[in-house]
Structure 1
Amino acid sequence: MSPSGTGSSRSDCRMIQHALGQTCVPNQPQRVIALSVPTLGNALALGVQPIASIVYFDDPPPYLAKHLESIQILGKEEQPNIEKVLALKPDLIIGIKYATEAIYPQLSRIAPTVVDDWEGYPSWRDHFDFVAKVLGKTEAAKQVWANYYQRIEALKSALGDRLQDLEVSFVHICCGTIDIDAKNSFNGSILADVGVQRPPSQAAPIAGGITSLSEERLMDINGDVLFVATEGEASLRKLAELKQKPLWKQLRAVQQNRVYPVNYPTWRGGNPLAADAVLDDLFKYLVNNPE
């Protein structure tokens, strides 16, 4: 089977232009494999249950946990187990270029395979629209976006006058580094839609949307509210160390007892289901627990 063919008549499939060429995808795919967590979340948000996916985490984030019970896991690395993919007999595979390009010829011999030019979490909205197009779910996608922006407006309304003066910071502690997410990151773009203020270090877009921070620049995460994401025991130990630093104790959110733990794979989820869960956190901590 050629990378651009499906072995079925053209009336049963639609040509999709993608990062590695063009492929005729089934009009109504029944056995979809998603080769990234954002792709998986996008499909689920559109009402399509993939049969398999790869994951990046040991503990499923709450927003995905119930869905993963009926989804085969193809591995925790960037590249899936090809033998498992073959055994599952998919009729459509959706991937992202940087992780899929090397094995694209093999995958496209198994099933029609389309690949998006994912450019990191700043491109999460474009990737959702790509997946919707591939799955023939563009009308459903409009409803997903309508629901998202309705929640954004509801949060703005609930925050009212506090919106203009509220400075919200986010930090991720993992793997020996302290990272901050800028305006064009996944959670940064949600916070930008809400209209809350960000610390200067997080208020502008940067390449990739994420940058590392040295302990000496800890005041760069200063804000009225600080959301903290950790991942694993090592990052919890690192957070405990940071809490002993004089600079940490100078942070406004620390002094006002407004530091809130959030789930890392949710706040970097890169899909509308994760966005909904981030908005849940924002309602919980900014509206229902304002002080």
Structure 2
Amino acid sequence: MKRVTIRYWIRCLGLMFLIIGLITACSHHTVKNTVSPTNLASKDCRVVQHTMGETCVPIDPQRIVTFSLPTLGNAIALGVKPLGSTYVDMLGEHTYLEGKVEGINSLGISSPNLEKILLIKPDIIIGWNAERQFYPLLSQIAPTVLFNWQNKTWRELFDFVTQVLGKQEAAQQAWEHYHQRVEKLKAALGNRYQNKEISLVFLAPGVIFSETKNSFPDFILQDVGLQRPKAQKAIAPSGQLYFSLEELAKADGDIMFVGTLTDDSQKFLEELKQKPLWKHLRAVQQNHVYPINYLTWRGGNLLAADAILDDLFKYLVNSP
């Protein structure tokens, strides 16, 4: 057997034994990250409260792993480039993170790749409650903090990531940049859209939905002073309002932004365009339907918010 093959199998066996050891340790120490702050805090770490309890995180973490696009985008907005993150592979081209994720290891999508995380040797892992089932194992690899999205906003997630990374000064600068752009956009819009309704429509194959009141894109439209159609001002537990083809009138507005994610959802849009109900929408009749990036408008982080402002400048200020 070739030497390189032997080394490969030795490495695989080593990783397997390490994972088995961590799993065994987790079965006996599932409360490691939830001890009292008085026993946990030190000059090298500070206590952060999160959905799984309390964890002492490094004062100046260098080897960072993030889960979810909102967490990844917020870290980058704070001037921090993680060594690894989930969802990197699904970004594709022409998104708000294009050119910003080179060199970041992909850690999977729905489930984090534990082997890759072990190889990165992180000193902090930042995720959200979707990773609760992996928390006992992750917390044995590195201090792990999870954000609970329930009844929380994208701004609270940004504040959480800021706290974990200790980047309060960078956060203040990022918010100042955002608010300056909002004010500039409001000045450019004047009162042209004072009585106009801005509709948000997102498509998946056979599925039509909108983001509801107090969702990520709705917060930004509120900041700019733009109104949504009455049907889209509902509050839904998931933050999404689904409607059938027969309810397509709920998608209407003076302006309609439409986001698709895949070729299949784009194909679905082309099919919708042939429907009489689509052709009767006033945004369609007035030629005020604009394509937007699905991942950007549902990004849930400050970099995505900046990209949404770009779209609003492009379509509402600079379009004829």
Tell me the TM-score range normalised by the shorter chain: over 0.9
Q: Secondary structure at the match of 1:164?
A: coil
Residue 116 of structure 2: aligned partner: 84
Residue 71 of structure 1: aligned partner: 104
Post-superposition CA distance 1:61-103 (Å, at most 9, x none): 52112122110000122x2011111111000000101x21111
TM-score by length of 2: 0.85
- The residue identity in structure 1 corresponding to 2:126 is I
Alignment partner of 1:47 out of 62, 71, 79: 79
Contact 2:48 2:56 in 1 (8 A): yes
State the Cα distance separating 1:183 from its structure 2 match: 2.1
Residue 155 of structure 2: aligned partner: 125
Distance across 1 between alignment mates of 2:246 and 2:184 = 38
Q: Secondary structure at the match of 1:173?
A: strand
State the Cα distance separating 1:147 from its structure 2 match: 1.5
Residue 59 of structure 1: aligned partner: 92
Residue 105 of structure 1: aligned partner: 136
Contact 1:184 1:206 in 2 (8 A): no
Residue 93 of structure 1: aligned partner: 125
Distance across 2 between alignment mates of 1:61 and 1:107 = 32
List runs of 5+ in structure 2 lacking aligned partners.
1-28
Distance across 2 between alignment mates of 1:161 and 1:209 = 29
- Max radius of gyration: which structure? 2
Post-superposition CA distance 1:20-71 (Å, at most 9, x none): 0111100000000001110000110011111010007252552112122110
Alignment partner of 1:24 out of 38, 48, 56: 56
Contact 1:180 1:202 in 2 (8 A): yes
Distance across 2 between alignment mates of 1:164 and 1:206 = 26
Alignment partner of 2:173 out of 143, 157, 175: 143
List runs of 5+ in structure 1 lacking aligned partners.
none
Q: Does 1:249 align with 2:249?
A: no
Question: What is the percentage of aligned positions where both structures have the same residue?
Answer: 53
TM-score by length of 1: 0.93
Contact 1:4 1:112 in 2 (8 A): no
Q: Does 1:115 align with 2:115?
A: no
Q: How many matched pairs?
A: 285
Structure 1 stretch displaced more, 122-131 or 277-286:
122-131
State the Cα distance separating 1:248 from its structure 2 match: 0.8
Distance across 2 between alignment mates of 1:126 and 1:60 = 28
State the Cα distance separating 1:119 from its structure 2 match: 2.6
RMSD: 1.8
Alignment partner of 2:301 out of 267, 271, 274: 271
